[in-house]
Amino acid sequence: MKYLLVLTMILSMLVIMLLLSDTPVLARAFNNDFETGDLTDWEKTGTAFDFQPTWGDNPTARNRGQPSKHQGDWWLGLFEKYPGAEKAKPLGVNPGAVQGDAPQGTLTSMEFKIIGDSMNFLIGGGNHPWDGNVPCCVNLVINEKVERTSTGNATETMSRKEWDVSDLKGKIAQLVVVDNNSGGWGHPNFDDVHQADAGGDNIPWDRVLAVDARGKLAVSWAQMKKYY
């Protein structure tokens, strides 16, 4: 019991020293490309994201003729229903399985500060814009206001798009993937989002999420604990 009390005191002191340090401490990187194989750092509503992220080029596995061109192993493909072999087995699905356009929902990222001049990402799927009746898109939201939005081009193949966010520097933002459409091309595809500097070079997310000199955490302890 005494040992646990001493250990708790030591850990508490280390936390206080960390928060009072003048030297910034880096948090682990944001799950910007879904390579955790799950939705860590994101919060879902509805049912559209129940089997996400998607593993591998599932459109090609179902002979769609439109390769996903995703980054890494995992990505958001809201028409797909193949979350990788381990998760697919109990579902009884194989590569090429789909959930279709019917499910709807949203996926909202953790908060982050805008420090770059631009944001770039891979996007595909439907082209139903945010200002339409049944959008499927990706939005940049600040103080509950949509500041930037993009859609796919009615193809499963993702391409890289960019937002100029230079006028939003210093603001706290979230990304929201929206699937409010159950009709044709009623799904977005999304992957690999970054902030970039004025020269177009991507800024590491651990730098974006750094703890500042005043000890204010850009991510919560709960979020950081997921990585340790």
Domain boundaries, the chain: 27-45+103-225
- In this structure, are residues 27 and 210 in contact, taking their beta carbons and an 8 Å threshold? yes
Within 8 A by CB and 6+ apart from 219, the residues are: 27, 30, 110, 209
226 pLDDT above the threshold of 80: no
Helices and strands in the chain: count of H runs, count of E runs = 5, 12
pLDDT, tens digit, for every residue of 132-156? 999 999 999 999 999 999 999 999 9
- Whole-angstrom CA distances from 188 to 59, 77, 136, 160, 218 are 13, 7, 6, 14, 28
Q: In the chain, where does DSSP find H-type helix?
A: 2-20, 58-61, 85-91, 205-208, 221-225
Q: How far apart are CA 226 and CA 228, in angstroms?
A: 6
The band of 210, judged by pLDDT with boundaries at 50, 70 and 90, is confident
- What number is the average pLDDT over the span 188-206? 97
The dihedral region occupied by 83, where left means phi > 0, alpha psi between -120 and 50, and beta the remainder, is: alpha
- In this structure, are residues 145 and 100 in contact, taking their beta carbons and an 8 Å threshold? no
20 pLDDT above the threshold of 50: no
Burial class (CB in 10 A: 0-12, 13-18, 19+), 89: exposed
The band of 26, judged by pLDDT with boundaries at 50, 70 and 90, is very low
Q: What are the structure tokens assigned to 175, written together? A: 């990304």
**Residue 158 pLDDT:** 98
**Residue 225 pLDDT:** 41
**Residue 29 pLDDT:** 82
DSSP 85-145: HHHHHHHT--TT-B--S---EEEEEPPEE--SSEEEEEEEE--B-TTSSS-EEEEEEETTE
211 pLDDT above the threshold of 60: no
- What number is the average pLDDT over the span 52-79? 98
Kind plus residue range of the DSSP H or E element containing 214: none
* Residue percentage of the chain with pLDDT more than 90: 79
81 pLDDT above the threshold of 90: yes
- What number is the average pLDDT over the span 170-199? 97
**Residue 212 pLDDT:** 46
The band of 5, judged by pLDDT with boundaries at 50, 70 and 90, is low
CATH number of the 27-45+103-225 domain = 2.60.120
